[in-house]
Amino acid sequence: MEKKTFYITTPIYYPSANLHIGNTYTTIAADALARFKRLTGYDVMFLTGTDEHGQKIQRLAEAKGVAPKEYVDEIVAGIKDLWKMMNVSYDKFIRTTDDYHVRAVQQIFKQLYDQGDIYKSQYEGWYCTPCESFWTETQLQDGKCPDCGRPVEKAKEEAYFFKMSKYAPKLIEYIESHPEFIQPESRKNEMLNNFLKPGLQDLCVSRTTFDWGIPVTFDKKHVIYVWIDALANYITALGYNSGNEDLLNKYWPADVHLVGKDILRFHTIYWPIMLMALGLPLPKQVFGHGWLLVDGGKMSKSKGNVVDPVVLVNQFGADPVRYYLLREIPFGSDGIFNNEIFIKKINSDLANDLGNLLSRTTAMIEKYFQGVMPAQSAKEEIDNSLIEMAVDAHKKVEKHMDNLRIPEALDEIWALIGRANKYIDETTPWILSKDESKKERLGTILYNLSETLRIVSVLISPFLPETSIKINEQLNIELTTWDSIKSFDGTRAGSKIVKGEAIFPRIDVEAKIEELNKLKEEQMKANAPKAQMQPLKEEITIEDFEKVDLRVVKVLNCEPVKGAKKLLKLKVDLGGEEKQVISGISKYYKPEELIGKYVVLVANLKPAKLRGEISQGMILAASTDDDSKLFAVTIPKELPTGSVVR
């Protein structure tokens, strides 16, 4: 009988730097789903990879003095090593620099242009390099990117545009008639109400200001912009436009695109519209999971809270990391990573619950039966609840996994582990061992525990593959199929067990946290960017400089601007004349800290309106490149207000 297919994808990661624990979470979740589907009899295609083009990569490579391809090759090698370390069982790893992908994307672009879905025009607006996104003036927040909060650059260039608006009504209808398409439900409402229904703008799909990208075949000064290049990977990996589309015909449409919520818009709006234009079916589901929060916020290099998965695996092993991410992070919501909670979960769930169950069982078989598996020959009523729970577990786990409820699936497995530990206390094998007439009953109890562990081992194999193997080795388990756990008879009596070391040794929480903190400090010192001055701007003449009128002013009053988190409204004295200035420095100064200070004002700046308030100049300040520190330029009080700064 031909197997049912299951196609699951992760986003393709941007190799500007090494991946963090958040990226690892996405990939491990996809891996658990892929492994589970294989276990339950599906023909699985699991795709991951890297999105390697764009201005950001080009600039990083230039700064390092290497070619972009050389730069990404090094990062990609590290990503592949990480996935190997985490036991990620992907079937294909795609790179957008792969020749077959480049050719297929060029053909997609040409097809969309030929059928009138792509047209040439002019783009003028604001561009965020890290996000690779264009924004209008009204979309900016305090003059910065609304997605990441970083500075934007003014961009004006010739570009090709995709007619998103043409397909928007069709997509709205599809989403509303296919409630399973965008999950969780809250994400669906967000896409409809915030982006589609207010009106969808046409999408810029080419660039001319950099050349690290896939060239447009019929207009070589243009490179194909990220959205068509990156999103197309899900079909080019299957052979779309290659001349051999057997894999495409077999696996498409994808069963699940697993993505972070920050890129959901691209996967549920841009990508479906692209597929509609190409005449291809839409993926069955796009699932937008939450962020992994560290120290109460999103991971950020500037905050110094980025968690390196390599450090965690080296310290604790791959399976404890996989377990924490899969069990403790609500699938679809934001979750918290914290070293203390992580270590305590290893001690409680892995060492105490599972590890101790295996150790106790193998120790008793070794002690009372010379390491030979006893037979199930003296059953009693008390055994039934454990056996029934063990035999029913696969149904509950499968139901949760079919609904992408990974933590709930693990809850069911750990409930069975907890029941087995309770069964030991109920049956008191250590007391039975003292009475030779109870030998058969003792053997039955140990068989039941071993068989439960065999079932647990099969159930956890998609989530904790290394642990599953270790259990199998100690109990000499041979039967590990999904069908075998539907009955309670897969352990072979008479087989020789091999008691091993504790699979999860207990960890001294305080000592380990201290060790991790030291490692973090060392890592931050090693990774700290060397002080590097920003390049000087284009030379100006003394005449240019003299156009700027810098004056000493005294801050008379200062208060926050209503409805704006970053803005302060200052009243300043300029030589007896009162001026109003709006300044984005509330993050660095409380209003009362500025009142009475003498600062430097760009006094002849053309007035501008910010959040409904007139600003008649600009306060001079110095800041770090990442804006983590900022200081207004202050001067002694001896100078009268209105004094010229030169």
Answer yes or no: is 204 a known binding residue. no
Specify the CATH number of the domain 542-644.
Answer: 2.40.50.140
What is the pLDDT, as a whole number, of residue 528?
58
Give the pLDDT mean for 393-416.
97
DSSP string across 507-538: --HHHHHHHHHHHHHHHHHHHPPPP-PPPPPP
Write down the H helix ranges in 349-489.
356-369, 384-402, 406-427, 429-432, 439-460, 465-475
CA angle (437 as vertex; 433, 439 as ends), nearest 5: 50
Per-residue pLDDT at 156 exceeds 90: no
Beta pairing, strands 608-610 & 598-602: unpaired
Pair of tokens at residue 353:
């619950």
Burial status of residue 77 (CB atoms within 10 A of its CB: 0-12, 13-18, 19 or more) = exposed
- Backbone phi, then psi, for 619, in 5-degree steps? -80, 130
The pLDDT of 593-617, averaged and rounded, is 90
The model's pTM is 0.79
Residues 352 and 277: their CA atoms lie apart, in Å, by 55
Closest CA to 468 of 91, 23, 89, 90: 89
Please say if the pLDDT value at position 619 is more than 70.
yes
Strand partners, 8: 46, 256
Residues near 249 by beta carbon (within 8 Å), at least 6 away in sequence: none
pLDDT at 302: 46
Region at 87 (left for phi over 0; alpha for psi -120 to 50; beta for the rest):
left
> What are the boundaries of each domain within the chain?
352-496, 542-644
The stretch 440-466 carries a mean pLDDT of 98
Query: What's the whole-number mean pLDDT along residues 303-307?
Result: 60
pLDDT, mean over the chain: 91
Read off the pLDDT of each residue in 429-439 and give the average, rounded to a whole number.
95
Would you say domain 352-496 falls under CATH 1.10.730.10? yes
Which residue would you say has higher pLDDT here, 209 or 387? 387
CA distance 4 to 341: 39
In terms of Cα–Cα distance, which of 566, 567, 570 is closest to 557?
570
**145 annotated to bind ligand:** yes
State yes or no: 148 annotated in a binding site: yes
Tokens of 167: 């397909």
